[in-house]
Amino acid sequence: MTFASLVTFIQVVFFATIFLLFISGTVGWMLIYAFLLAVAASIILTVVSRNHYTVETEPYSGVTEVGGKCTIKVTVRKNGFCIIPYLTLEGYFSGRSFTIKTSLLLRSSAEVKLTLSPSECGLQKATVFRGYAEDFLWILRLKKNMSI
């Protein structure tokens, strides 16, 4: 959970409490219940979906030279029930790390192309070693280790 999301949650609870105490008790309780339901649904959907995606990279991106450009294609696919609004992938290419951010919310697969500059000559390979699935409200961040 980030500091900004924590501040937002405190503001929502404060607003619902003020509404509960000073304006309308019924509507205030409904706001609190709706907020708690949104938090529970967000966490449950992320926990259920966390292992239902696969990541694929091109086996080799080709022979490169120092200072040249190399395009890497990373494809993320759903396997069954998967609702992940925020997906962060970390990987290596030519000894350097890269980060990809994508989403699997309303599609069955996501394809991201990166253009990187290699630090070594020769045949290069892109490797994705870790993925983070985050929920809708940025409360939970689940790590999935992989070697692709």
Per residue in 100-130, pLDDT (tens digit) is 999 888 888 999 988 888 888 877 778 889 9
Task: Please tell me the pTM assigned to this model.
Answer: 0.77
Cα–Cα distances in angstroms (integers) from residue 131 to residues 96, 101, 122, 138, in the given order:
17, 10, 27, 15
Instruction: Dump pLDDT digits (tens) for 37-83.
Output: 988 998 898 888 888 888 888 766 567 788 788 888 889 998 888 88
Q: Are 72 and 106 spatial neighbours (Cβ–Cβ below 8 Å)?
A: no
User: For residue 140, what are the β-bridge partners?
Assistant: none
Cβ partners under 8 Å of residue 31, min gap 6: 15, 16, 19, 20
